[in-house]
Structure 1
């Protein structure tokens, strides 16, 4: 589990998106098949001491743009959660549009 400071949570968000990119690659075989990252929903464990939850989701959003360039730009939302499975700090729910 990550610490409770925002910087640790930002790193956790980026790692969550690294896992999502790996899942996309496993599902479609090649990341060049991704036409657009359409939407990203960040779920942040809102523990005491964490504030500015949207800044935490930025860690994931920036990573998607690093990987996919303009195709990584997306709409997004952030939700603060009172509890998360396995007490994780961040989860990402991502909607991906694929090439035809």
Structure 2
């Protein structure tokens, strides 16, 4: 992605690797959930992340059964400001991806 590390891609990789390994961004604790068969509303997940890390992520969903209205969490994406070092979170431009938007949000 875009960064201020254009002359130091290895430095960028190392900085992002540190962020990925940080417990601050461990998905389940950040989302405030435990594995369960009970669905969690996307709005709840977004608000839990905002409370824990201070910015809204992007939630990515998948449908395990095509045509189903049951969504499953695929990814949680954090957005960082484009600067050196890569450590300042910002709200992601879109809080949910198109797959999540494709199903009526009130149904789960």
Given the two structures, how large is their TM-score scaled by the length of structure 1?
0.29
Greater RCO, CA 8 A, separation 6+: 1
Given the two structures, how large is their TM-score scaled by the length of structure 2?
0.28
Larger Rg: 2
Give the structure with the higher percent strand: 1
